[in-house]
Amino acid sequence: MKIKIDVTLKVTHIVKTLVLSDLFLMAGWGFISPVFPVFIINKIAGATLTTVGITTAIYWLTRSIIQLPIANFLDRTEGEKDDFYALVGALILAGIAAFGYIAISNVPELYFFQIVQAVAFGIYTPAWSGIFSRHLDEKRKSFDYSLDSTAIGISSGVAGLLGGAIAQHFGFNIIFLSAGLFSLLAAFIVFTFPKLVLPPKTSNEPAEIRDHKPPMVG
């Protein structure tokens, strides 16, 4: 029995654009992921290992609380225009959060920008998933999702390796700056794609919300 493996990388323009924007976003935050606890301990006045735990809890709890209401709102609103602008806004907010880490000097400021980051990704997840799921190739849904997962896996792995080395030799500010710029680049990629500026409604069914977690530690 012969098993044919199809490795064709052909995908729709919208799927390709969303995968590319996802790649840049996750690569940017991948710079931060491996060194963020070290940054908290070494650079934030009064921070301890308990602070690292609280920071992580703030991020995930905040994101989890807002994610479902945002998803419900986007599902109830007709068309994809709301999903599109929510996606772009979330990416810009993620960039602001990354830039904010450059200026923080104390624990309350750290917690504040963790909330900003959590809100950004809490909006990003349902907005990205909503548009992505409605433009999948009906015969290659698993491939399309796997392509995105592979893209962010590779980009996050490479960024994590580079992030540690860059932070060691050039300091933490450069990795936060990179994460912010990559987030804004992801927003630019989505915003300038003509078929997404005023995306047509393609389905009467509500978008399926997938779990789509960033590689961020906290």
The pLDDT tens digits of the residues spanning 60-92 come to 999 999 999 999 999 898 778 888 999 999 999
User: Minimum mean pLDDT among 26-40, 81-95, 100-114, 131-145: which range?
Assistant: 131-145
User: Does residue 217 lie within any of the structural domains?
Assistant: no
| Type of residue found at 67 | Q
User: Does residue 127 lie within any of the structural domains?
Assistant: yes
| Type of residue found at 60 | W
User: Does residue 214 lie within any of the structural domains?
Assistant: no
- Predicted pLDDT of residue 195: 61
With b for 16 or more beta-carbon neighbours within 10 A and e for fewer, the 90-113 pattern comes to bbbbbbbbbbbbeebeebeebbeb
User: Does residue 104 lie within any of the structural domains?
Assistant: yes
pLDDT digits (tens, 9 = 90+) for 172-185: 999 999 999 999 99
Q: What is the extent of the structural domain holding 64?
A: 13-197
- Predicted pLDDT of residue 94: 97
| Type of residue found at 127 | A
pLDDT digits (tens, 9 = 90+) for 190-212: 887 756 555 555 555 444 444 44
Place of tokens 């979330």: 90
Report how many domains make up the chain. 1
- Predicted pLDDT of residue 29: 95
Which CATH number belongs to the domain containing residue 60 in this structure?
A: 1.20.1250.20
- Split at pLDDT 50, 70, 90, the class of 142 is confident
User: Does residue 2 lie within any of the structural domains?
Assistant: no
Q: Is the pLDDT of residue 112 over 80?
A: yes
The whole-model pTM stands at 0.84
Contact 165, 178 (CB under 8 A): no
Listed residue (44, 147, 150) closest to 105, CA to CA: 44
User: Does residue 26 lie within any of the structural domains?
Assistant: yes
User: Does residue 169 lie within any of the structural domains?
Assistant: yes
Q: pLDDT > 70: what percent of the chain?
A: 84
Contact 49, 193 (CB under 8 A): no
User: Does residue 192 lie within any of the structural domains?
Assistant: yes
C-alpha 183/C-alpha 97 separation (Å) is: 10
